[in-house]
Chains A and B, each alone.
Chain A
Amino acid sequence: MSKPVQQLDRVVIRFAGDSGDGMQLTGDRFTSDSAFHGNDLATLPNFPAEIRAPQGTLPGVSSFQLHFADHDVLTPGDEPDVLVAMNPAALKANLRDVPRGATIIVDTDEFSRRNLGKVGYAVSPLEDGTLESFHVHALPLTSMTVDALANYDLSRKDKERAKNMFALGLLSWLYTRPLEATEGFLRSKFATKPEILAANITALHAGVHYGETTEDFAHTYKIAPAVMAPGRYRNVTGNTALAYGLVAGAHQANLALLLGSYPITPASDILHVLSGLKRFGVTTVQAEDEIAGVGIALGASFGGALGVTTTSGPGLALKAETIGLAVSLELPLVVVDVQRGGPSTGLPTKTEQADLLQALFGRNGESPVPVIAPQSPVDCFDAAIEAVRIATAYRTPVILLSDGYLANGSEPWRLPHVDDLPDLTVDFATEPNGTDPDGKPVFHPYLRDPETLARAWAIPGTPGLEHRIGGIEKADVTGVISYDPDNHQRMTDLRDAKVKGIAATIPPIEVDDPTGDARVLVLGWGSTYGPIYAASRVVRRHGMSVARAHLRHLNPFPSNLGEVLRSYDRVIVPEMNLGQLAMLLRAAYLVDITSYTAVRGLPFTAGELADVITEAVLASNPARHSAATEAQK
């Protein structure tokens, strides 16, 4: 029996349940199936820091939001059109984000007096009118799953566990998603547990059949594939893309990659991924702490490998002294900070951009370090390659600032061709490059390339170039210990000039201003790219002009940045901190910045940014006010 099909252009679904309900997996699978179907998408997993908070409680709620559409998607969506709530806690924790008129699917089996009580519902919200303004599908998902599995020789618990597949089947039917990929996934996941495998597949199909037969759902929905650039695609999370970018960067530099890392959320997945890539010559050392992690990486770099260390904010704090040593040694080193909410332990599983100033200045002495930030999960790949390029070409530590949202969020990735990646081959010194006072050929480790100011890099094992370097100030050129005042001034200036000079090899910042007459510029960095872009579209749809630009390089800035900032009446900088980039821009360019900030552990919504931009546009040009209101009528 087929039901009428309704065409939609976009849908935002949020799956929410107890940490043990498998919501991340359900969301991941729905994502893969949607990607496979050809929709563009973006995801936002949101889970508690506790591995298993007490069952059925608010702290134990885990959710996964997915925005998929027939056009290009920039954010995981402001508000869900559909909330799947597997228990009362999931409903309570997510309800305030759900707009009126949205669809809510709940598992009524979990709405027992006891479970309601755990989250302070005296009366079931399914019965007291709380959900009056929503389309509610109150379904006994658990018992329907258990019934569907009546013939399986499994414990009740095991049967109940398949309820997420029942829900996935139902949603897949509702949005006409193919199931083959999920079936294939289940087959490999449960390859050694045939009974569990069969039960999961049965539950998945039971969900589909339920949708087909029940009268609860009048029609299904179709979301056509998005128009995307031709090519081969996969879905990828930021952490995976970042790990692959590091491997690709090392491959292009023809260097062995050695990672020294200490586990920390939300960076650990990079360690996990790289640990599985030994086949690519990748060595991973799980260190005793973050200081050791970066020390191991730096030692490997001294030996001629590409040393990489990955961490989050608290770990970056611990690595500071060693990064300073790398600045002084002038050796390549890639430091990845996947930012999370701070200070201290802060919000380990939530996102924030508050380590920018730490990355730039969190070391003793004048210690310039290039800093770059990816703008989307997919962009983590290119940003990692760029970090490798700068680190190796300039013999410098580079800090790559990802964040929790990019790390766990995913989106379709048009696969690059390795052929097209830049050649990053490194020139090691193999011959003496100077003479001593007696005219004997010698190696000068701090003789610089006149263009990049990068020093000569000779690795142990190179005969005749034996030399000693360290964190004590070194004499220009020879690299021997020097306490000479003028030399220290000179070396400090050289290190500074070297990092500033990187600007010569980074593209100018591009401004997106379709109408060309915008007076307001929105400038972002890192993961705010999606929400800012989406918000700009909303504003433009309302007939207003706004310009938009995004920074990848936070140190040094692109050379044209000052000029761009000065050509607008107003510059808005939204950031998930208390205004760190804004402060840098004011200091560097003496321009006024409208700083818009929030630190709620979640990405901005396009809606809130659209309001901020609209207000600024209207304020900057009152004449437009009437035109805009006119357009809205």
Chain B
Amino acid sequence: MKLDRPDLTSSSSASMPSAHGAASAHGGHGALSGAALVPSLQPGISLNRKDFTSDQEVRWCPGCGDYAILATMQGFLPELGLRRENIVFVSGIGCSSRFPYYLDTYGLHSIHGRAPSIATGLVTARPDLSVWVITGDGDALSIGGNHLIHALRRNVNLTILLFNNEIYGLTKGQYSPTSRQGKVTKSSPLGSVDTPFNPVSLALGAEATFVARTMDSDRAHLSATLRAAAAHRGSALVEIYQNCPIFNDGAFEVLKDRTEAEARIFHLVDGEPVAAGDQVVVRDDMGHLRVVARDDADSDRIVIHDPSSEDTSLAFALSRLSESTLSHVPMGVFRKVNRPAYDDLVRAQVDAAVNQAGGPASDADLDALLAGRDTWIVGG
């Protein structure tokens, strides 16, 4: 038997040494990035947006927010400096899940809700791949809710982009698990009575190590968020507010108007006060978060953002500031902590067992396994 995994050592990447075993065995790997084991481009070679654009005609409705996200992604991917063939997009079903077809990388458009599981198997088998999951609010939070929370809790090394348009787009406009209460849709003519999920709160509750929120139309912020997510080793969940002009137009409109946005979007910046325009977030006597005018705020009480805090309570409280009116919307990285990635730990156990046994199993090793300990000979 030869190698049971692709030979990673042939890569030119500087970050290539058999780091995953060592790093995960010791638990901490602050320095190991999301793509640490993925081969980089040869020196002197760089790719551009066109290299990542497939020959398939994009088929979203005119004005769909998915176009903006795709364009940002095509512009961002070259920045990673990874080999194109080592990037994989895995999606479920929905308008958003068509995304992989438009990127000239490897891609797998799977079935409704199951992309996190499929991607878990892929990245566990292949540490040399940068694996991205593309999913929608229905895909990730209805049918695939179970897979999402388990991928997050395990901390599988995946970057999960959740396109949240608060509607089922592909099936033509039913309410989704993120639709606001009272939402009138084809399947809720009198208004939805469901209490929606807040994807950021849900992810934090599911032990996610990286959780962020961004928006389709804010190219710079989206790029920066993708950058941070890609650098994270473990599951990175990015909620992307995405407009569906056909079935839920304007769901995030107030965040797109410059002056409105200034008052509503609280940018989460590590080490900075959580603020929007002239408002800041403070902690009151009870420990609850409140939004107050900056001038009225007691400076000791102003919340300074700390995404790397082990304690999830601040990130969670920030996630609860969002209301259906979108009057206070934190954007950016809520949480980013280091915890060994599931797939690294799994591979470390396998690698240790293989190394301890002196290398990959030979035919003789397999013969010995089959024989076990209690054998007898029948003469002849």
Say whether, besides A418-B367, A466-B84, A291 and B114 are in contact (CB < 8 Å). yes
- Whether A279 pairs with B357 at a CB distance below 8 angstroms is yes
Tell me whether chain A's interface is mostly helix, strand or loop, or mixed.
Answer: mixed
B155 close to chain A: CB less than 8 A:
no
A287 close to chain B: CB less than 8 A:
yes
From A36, A236, A279, A283, contact of B346 by CB (8 A): A283
Find the A residue at minimum CB distance from B117: A295
- Whether A322 pairs with B111 at a CB distance below 8 angstroms is yes
From B56, B146, B366, B379, contact of A418 by CB (8 A): B366
- Whether B124 pairs with A285 at a CB distance below 8 angstroms is yes
A78 close to chain B: CB less than 8 A:
no
Q: What 1/0 mask marks residues of chain A from 302 to 327 whose CB sits below 8 Å from any chain B CB?
A: 11110100000000000001101100
- Whether B105 pairs with A466 at a CB distance below 8 angstroms is yes
- Whether B121 pairs with A303 at a CB distance below 8 angstroms is yes
B266 close to chain A: CB less than 8 A:
no
A14 to B153 Cα, complex, angstroms: 47
- Whether B2 pairs with A258 at a CB distance below 8 angstroms is no
Q: Which residues of B contact A470 (CB under 8 A)?
A: 100-101, 107-110
B6 close to chain A: CB less than 8 A:
yes
Q: Which residues of B contact A48 (CB under 8 A)?
A: none
Min CB distance, A346 to chain B, in Å? 24
A494 to B285 Cα, complex, angstroms: 70
Say whether, besides A288-B146, A296-B118, A471 and B110 are in contact (CB < 8 Å). yes
From A234, A248, A285, A461, contact of B85 by CB (8 A): A461
Say whether, besides A281-B361, A299-B120, A302-B118, A36 and B374 are in contact (CB < 8 Å). yes
- Whether B365 pairs with A280 at a CB distance below 8 angstroms is yes
Min CB distance, B40 to chain A, in Å? 13
A300 to B104 Cα, complex, angstroms: 21
Find the B residue at minimum CB distance from A37: B376
A181 close to chain B: CB less than 8 A:
yes
Say whether, besides A229-B380, A278-B353, A303-B126, A256 and B363 are in contact (CB < 8 Å). no
From B105, B349, B367, contact of A278 by CB (8 A): B349
- Whether A32 pairs with B374 at a CB distance below 8 angstroms is yes
- Whether B85 pairs with A462 at a CB distance below 8 angstroms is yes
Min CB distance, B179 to chain A, in Å? 25
Query: What's the tally of chain B residues with a CB closer than 8 Å to chain A?
Result: 69
B240 close to chain A: CB less than 8 A:
no
- Whether A415 pairs with B371 at a CB distance below 8 angstroms is yes
A390 to B346 Cα, complex, angstroms: 28
Say whether, besides A279-B356, A281-B360, A418-B363, A463 and B121 are in contact (CB < 8 Å). no
A467 to B108 Cα, complex, angstroms: 9
B119 close to chain A: CB less than 8 A:
yes
B68 close to chain A: CB less than 8 A:
no
Min CB distance, A427 to chain B, in Å? 14
Q: What 1/0 mask marks residues of chain B from 128 to 171 whose CB sits below 8 Å from any chain A CB?
A: 11000000000000000011001000000000000000000000
B354 close to chain A: CB less than 8 A:
yes
B88 close to chain A: CB less than 8 A:
yes
Find the B residue at minimum CB distance from A293: B117
Q: Which residues of A contact B363 (CB under 8 A)?
A: 251, 418-419
Min CB distance, A318 to chain B, in Å? 11
Q: Which residues of A contact B296 (CB under 8 A)?
A: none
Q: Which residues of A contact B129 (CB under 8 A)?
A: 303, 460-461
Q: What 1/0 mask marks residues of chain A from 171 to 201 whose CB sits below 8 Å from any chain B CB?
A: 0000000000100000000000000000000
Interface residues in B257-281 by Cβ distance below 8 A to A read none
A321 to B111 Cα, complex, angstroms: 8
A277 to B109 Cα, complex, angstroms: 32
Interface residues in B337-363 by Cβ distance below 8 A to A read 346-347, 349-350, 352-354, 356-357, 360-361, 363
Q: What 1/0 mask marks residues of chain A from 340 to 360 whose CB sits below 8 Å from any chain B CB?
A: 000000000000000000000
A146 close to chain B: CB less than 8 A:
no
Say whether, besides A279-B354, A468-B106, A228 and B378 are in contact (CB < 8 Å). yes
- Whether B378 pairs with A233 at a CB distance below 8 angstroms is yes
From A233, A258, A465, contact of B375 by CB (8 A): A233
A297 to B110 Cα, complex, angstroms: 13
A417 close to chain B: CB less than 8 A:
yes
Q: Which residues of A contact B181 (CB under 8 A)?
A: none
Q: Which residues of A contact B361 (CB under 8 A)?
A: 251, 279-281
Interface residues in A207-240 by Cβ distance below 8 A to B read 225, 228-236
B90 close to chain A: CB less than 8 A:
yes
Interface residues in A465-484 by Cβ distance below 8 A to B read 465-472, 480-481
- Whether A295 pairs with B118 at a CB distance below 8 angstroms is yes
B190 close to chain A: CB less than 8 A:
no
- Whether B110 pairs with A325 at a CB distance below 8 angstroms is yes
Q: Which residues of B contact A280 (CB under 8 A)?
A: 361, 365-366, 369
Q: What 1/0 mask marks residues of chain A from 417 to 460 whose CB sits below 8 Å from any chain B CB?
A: 11100000000000000000000000000000000000000001
Q: Which residues of A contact B188 (CB under 8 A)?
A: none
A513 close to chain B: CB less than 8 A:
no
A223 to B295 Cα, complex, angstroms: 97
A244 close to chain B: CB less than 8 A:
yes
A307 to B122 Cα, complex, angstroms: 10
- Whether B118 pairs with A299 at a CB distance below 8 angstroms is yes
Interface residues in A81-97 by Cβ distance below 8 A to B read none
A304 to B379 Cα, complex, angstroms: 43
- Whether A469 pairs with B353 at a CB distance below 8 angstroms is no
Find the A residue at minimum CB distance from B147: A292
Q: Which residues of B contact A255 (CB under 8 A)?
A: 4
- Whether A181 pairs with B108 at a CB distance below 8 angstroms is no
Min CB distance, A4 to chain B, in Å? 28
A462 to B105 Cα, complex, angstroms: 11
A305 to B118 Cα, complex, angstroms: 13
Find the A residue at minimum CB distance from B6: A461
Q: Which residues of B contact A417 (CB under 8 A)?
A: 367
Q: Which residues of A contact B202 (CB under 8 A)?
A: none
Min CB distance, A41 to chain B, in Å? 13
Say whether, besides A244-B369, A299-B125, A462-B85, A38 and B147 are in contact (CB < 8 Å). no
Find the A residue at minimum CB distance from B11: A461
Min CB distance, A575 to chain B, in Å? 31
A258 to B118 Cα, complex, angstroms: 12
A464 close to chain B: CB less than 8 A:
yes
B20 close to chain A: CB less than 8 A:
no
Find the A residue at minimum CB distance from B115: A295
- Whether B124 pairs with A289 at a CB distance below 8 angstroms is no
Q: Which residues of B contact A32 (CB under 8 A)?
A: 374
Find the A residue at minimum CB distance from B118: A299
B14 close to chain A: CB less than 8 A:
no
- Whether B150 pairs with A460 at a CB distance below 8 angstroms is no
Q: Which residues of A contact B114 (CB under 8 A)?
A: 291-292, 295, 321-322
From A229, A289, A298, A468, contact of B109 by CB (8 A): A468
- Whether A256 pairs with B118 at a CB distance below 8 angstroms is no
Min CB distance, B365 to chain A, in Å? 7
- Whether B120 pairs with A285 at a CB distance below 8 angstroms is yes
B195 close to chain A: CB less than 8 A:
no
B83 close to chain A: CB less than 8 A:
yes
Find the B residue at minimum CB distance from A462: B85
- Whether A285 pairs with B108 at a CB distance below 8 angstroms is no
- Whether A295 pairs with B121 at a CB distance below 8 angstroms is yes
- Whether A292 pairs with B125 at a CB distance below 8 angstroms is no
Say whether, besides A468-B109, A471-B111, A300 and B124 are in contact (CB < 8 Å). yes
- Whether A230 pairs with B379 at a CB distance below 8 angstroms is yes
Q: What 1/0 mask marks residues of chain B from 94 to 107 whose CB sits below 8 Å from any chain A CB?
A: 00000011011111
Q: Which residues of B contact A418 (CB under 8 A)?
A: 363-364, 366-367, 370
- Which 10 A-B pairs rank lowest in CB-CB distance, beginning with the nearest? A230-B380, A470-B109, A299-B121, A295-B117, A296-B121, A468-B107, A278-B353, A299-B118, A299-B122, A256-B4
Q: List 9 A-B contacts (CB under 8 A).
A: A232-B375, A232-B376, A278-B352, A280-B369, A283-B124, A302-B121, A419-B363, A465-B85, A472-B109
Known: A260-B117, A285-B120, A285-B124. 17 other contacts (CB 8 A): A32-B374, A36-B374, A234-B375, A279-B357, A281-B4, A292-B147, A295-B114, A299-B120, A307-B121, A414-B378, A415-B370, A418-B370, A460-B122, A467-B107, A470-B100, A470-B110, A471-B111
